[in-house]
Structure 1
């Protein structure tokens, strides 16, 4: 083409806009690349569910399960491929208008699940009602803790039980937002999240940690000398000492990539953290600058906000950290979200299999490491 021949504007303008769009996406929206991660989660086996979002799971003292906490306020039990999923419990008696796909506040939203081995009771952190409990036969759960130190429990999230001390620890992620607004908690800048210690003997609920921005997962370590709590907004994992010379103090245990969700202790004493998604620049700006977060809270729908934070490319990721040092030991990914998306929990069993839950998808996944 001669040098002096001009490119028609109807070709040049769209081309320039396309280039700018690609550059903008790569700078603002593309999820971070994590060095050293293993892109193997797409090989996991999928077990579909009739209801969305098995945010948390657990196995009963007999080893049966998993039991999963779902969008419609119910908890289902897996009975194997022949029998499938059966209803076990629910957190609200109001079942008439419950949806399989959308959270209805009156139906509740069970999140973290913890079985008590010596009784078979299932403790449930409900994102609307508080800490609840249901017996080994299931059915309607009863409220155990609805407030602590004069403040209502607004967003019970995940907890863990010290059976020797008869003490249950759990997160209350916000005093303003319930589960349905979870991403608004992350970007709002508010620090009202707290950790509550419930003494089963005295029935006292006491705040032992506070000043969190959406504290999400919580788990005790193997010898019950400390617990760890992850803050979804910052990716920081905080430690609270329960026993020893440091009892009653806290420190930073680890920092993980992305926005962490539930934490589960492994059979060897390490921890798996489910990661909702990796971070991108726009997400970091929303979290680090309160006015930007507030702008998106007021102007964007929750669905758009979720897409924005994950770069409109939902994917799967889980991080394993040392139970002694907090060092990152392993990162597993499904980078393109072929099989796994929006991981909320990674639960490693004694047989080497890792089960994964999701805060949005209608399935659990099983990865057999052996």
Structure 2
């Protein structure tokens, strides 16, 4: 087992997939301007935040509603509320198994919401096919979520 360190995880000259579970693989990031927090959806580490003036990410959650994250991906921050919307592409397959998820038509992805006030993560939509990117409308009235396996975009109001 590797220890997460600059020497192991600096990303220079060590582009090795076997290090991803140790070093992480951020697939979605978003910055909340008001509090200067950087939120991260990491395929291996879960849902994380880097606080202002900090250099290390802290894990917020590794699952929601009793279901562990397998492949956190897209992420967007509502600049009006500080709530974070992100996706878990599958509750069955990890990043290293993504081709199998696509081949089997896996539809266990979810759209999730981190409530900045309660600090709770809840599932807003489930049954998504390869839930990917998220985007919040400018007035916060809806969230778009892409499903890369189903080749569509869903709107959550």
Which TM-score tier does this pair reach, normalised by the shorter chain?
0.7 to 0.9
C-alpha distance in structure 1 between counterparts of 2:37 and 2:84, whole Å: 13
Match of 1:156 in 2: 72
Is the counterpart of residue 187 in structure 1 residue 103 in structure 2? yes
Residue 52 of structure 2 aligns to a residue in which SS?
Answer: coil
Residue 97 of structure 2 aligns to a residue in which SS?
Answer: helix
Q: Over aligned residues, Cα RMSD in angstroms? A: 1.9
C-alpha distance in structure 2 between counterparts of 1:228 and 1:93, whole Å: 37
CA-CA distance at 1:135 after TM superposition = 2.3
Residue 139 of structure 1 aligns to a residue in which SS?
Answer: coil
Match of 1:124 in 2: 40
Residue 15 (structure 2) aligned to one of 90, 101, 121: 101
CA-CA distance at 1:228 after TM superposition = 0.6
- 1:40-79 pair list within 5 angstroms: none
- 1:116-265 pair list within 5 angstroms: 116-241=32-157
C-alpha distance in structure 2 between counterparts of 1:125 and 1:143, whole Å: 10
> Given the two structures, how large is their TM-score scaled by the length of structure 2?
0.86
Structure 1: where are the runs of 5+ without partners? 1-91, 242-370
Contact 1:93-1:140 at 8 Å conserved across structures: no
Residue 177 of structure 1 aligns to a residue in which SS?
Answer: coil
> Given the two structures, how large is their TM-score scaled by the length of structure 1?
0.38
Structure 2: where are the runs of 5+ without partners? none
CA-CA distance at 1:97 after TM superposition = 4.2
C-alpha distance in structure 2 between counterparts of 1:135 and 1:233, whole Å: 34
**Higher strand fraction: Structure 1 or Structure 2?**
2
Residue 184 of structure 1 aligns to a residue in which SS?
Answer: helix
Contact 2:80-2:140 at 8 Å conserved across structures: no
C-alpha distance in structure 1 between counterparts of 2:42 and 2:131, whole Å: 15
C-alpha distance in structure 2 between counterparts of 1:203 and 1:121, whole Å: 14
C-alpha distance in structure 2 between counterparts of 1:193 and 1:129, whole Å: 17
Contact 1:129-1:153 at 8 Å conserved across structures: no
Change in Cα spacing, 1:157 to 1:93, as seen in structure 2 (3 Å) is farther
Change in Cα spacing, 1:163 to 1:93, as seen in structure 2 (3 Å) is farther
CA-CA distance at 1:136 after TM superposition = 3.3
Contact 2:32-2:82 at 8 Å conserved across structures: no
